[in-house]
Structure 1
């Protein structure tokens, strides 16, 4: 059985705010958290990814850029080539190119979006501030490529190490709606957010999400997840559960680990996000 991995990623990790990996295993509909690993440098993340072990991971960083953005900038329209080009750029070059793109567009439509952003409720992957997901893509995707992992629907690699784009907010909102459960700002680490973390964990432990997986924690693990007011550890666990759902789909014969067959192979897709269906001019969402 593959290890499940959830990664709360940072494009500039430090001792105070490391990359957090949640490791676990699935037995039927139960996912047991076994360990939380904190890595303080991107080099350490790269080494961990390259080590020989069997895992299916959900990573909280975008795996691609919007097709519209790439077409407008004249960048490669094949996924691997677009990522190889992107990694050669500096952050100032990225910011300059993306800002120029936004400046040429009308108010209310500054950013280009991937097809997955709407169903997932995620920020556009070209956004360089609040949150800087463009820099997360720039820092994190090369680590996955250099480690030789398999990215279903995007890039063939080692089938024993499978990486999927995850988004913890997608699962958290299913339980909490608009309630916030985390903040890096100490002044905003309120009792209300602590209660929200407790409520979210209770729902996950009871399997009260559409993933139909029950999170298994020790008392010490639960206390640690509640106590982490930044939400980084909990976000890693949410990504681990999304990876567990994907691993379950694969065990049932789905080569794409639950990703929709119609995903754009340039943009990628966030695992567990429903694929919209268009029938008779009415947009619907495919059941997951």
Structure 2
């Protein structure tokens, strides 16, 4: 079941959107969505450095989200989405386990496993490694500050990859640098923490535990929203919100809605790179085709 909350076509002070502008999406993903914690999708469009939030949509099951991803699109519509789930596993992990080193084959193998098997396999991998380097990392984890995609608890990003990627592939989404899909549907790996930390540092702005949804975290969300609205990030984009939208994002102590909006801004940045002629939507040309890369994360250093 999906719930949609839409907004007026123009926000206060924003410009009218050109009909040909890409339809932008930011997705805060859950590997086990429910009524209490749904998958949240922020939708919007951008023009001249302004990113307008046009709606929030909620999905309480993976199948409902998958059906929405696969919906028919008009011939002239182009979707660009940033999804907060990993698109690949660390090369070191895959090599050590003897899994296929080609992305498609590796993901197909991974999808065939149960969560219990994934947990046990990854736990055994960690147990055989020295303290301080238990988990294997992707090259993007350092620049992005992201959790390893093999991590199965706090947060369970390994399960997010396992649960979410099959739906994107089944709906024929195009994953630049990894998988050729339908050119109307472009999926990029997003990470809201990357943009949030640029503004807040390590200050927390959210918690799934209502007891920990404190005034200090609400203040952090307010500061983050102000910075996004004023364009005070290296993305050079200004978020356009109605007063009602801003109040909704501020009041959500879980941060799920705000995280979806942060991903929306990452998708908007990617759309500007594509409009400038970049077929990889701003991803580095040197990305590892097995691991993938988080959009807007600084590129890896060039080989010497």
Q: TM-score range by the shorter chain?
A: over 0.9
Aligned-pair distance for 1:2?
1.3
Give yes or no for the alignment of 1:269 onto 2:293.
yes
SS at match of 1:210: coil
The aligned counterpart of 2:233 is: 209
- Identify the match of residue 10 of structure 1 among 2, 23, 30: 30
1:85 maps to 2:136: no
Aligned 1:182-193 pairs, distance under 5 A: 182-193=206-217
SS of residue matched to 1:138? helix
> Which residue of the partner structure matches residue 35 of structure 1?
55
What is the CA RMSD across the aligned residues, in angstroms? 0.9
Matches within 5 A, 1:1-288: 1-53=21-73, 54-277=78-301
1:279, CA displacement in angstroms? Answer: 7.4
Q: Deviations over 1:102-121 (max 9, x none)?
A: 00000000000000000000
Distance 1:62 1:134 in 2: 8
Stretches of 4+ aligned residues off by more than 3 angstroms: none
- The whole-number CA distance in structure 1 between the counterparts of 2:204 and 2:117 is 33
1:238-283 CA-partner distances (Å, limit 9, x unpaired): 0000000001100010000000000000000000001132577xxx
Alpha-carbon distance, 1:156 to partner:
0.2
- Between the aligned partners of 2:235 and 2:72, the Cα distance in structure 1 is 29
Q: TM-score scaled to structure 1, two decimals?
A: 0.96
Q: How many residues align?
A: 280
Q: Report what 1:285 is aligned to.
A: none
Q: Which deviations, in whole Å up to 9, do the C-alpha atoms of 1:208-265 show, x marking residues without a partner?
A: 0000000000000000000000000000000000000001100010000000000000
Inter-partner Cα distance in structure 1 for 2:59 and 2:152: 23
SS state at 2:250 partner? helix
Please list every run of 5 or more consecutive structure 2 residues that lacks an aligned counterpart in the other structure: 1-20
1:76-102 Cα deviation digits (max 9, x unpaired): 100011111100100000001101100
Cα distance between partner residues in 2 of 1:188 and 1:139: 28
Residue 301 of structure 2 aligns to a residue whose secondary structure is strand
CA contact (8 A) 2:26 2:83 kept: yes
Question: TM-score scaled by structure 2?
Answer: 0.91
Cα distance in structure 2, aligned partners of 1:97 and 1:104: 11
Distance 1:262 1:33 in 2: 32
Deviation of 1:52 (Å): 2.4
- Kindly tell me: are residues 267 and 279 of structure 1, through their superposed partners in 2, closer, same or farther at Cα, counting changes over 3 Å? closer
* Distance in 2 (alpha carbons) for counterparts of 1:182 and 1:199: 13
Structure 1 unaligned runs (5+)?
281-288
- The separation in 2 between residues aligned to 1:276 and 1:137, in whole angstroms, is 22
SS at match of 1:160: strand
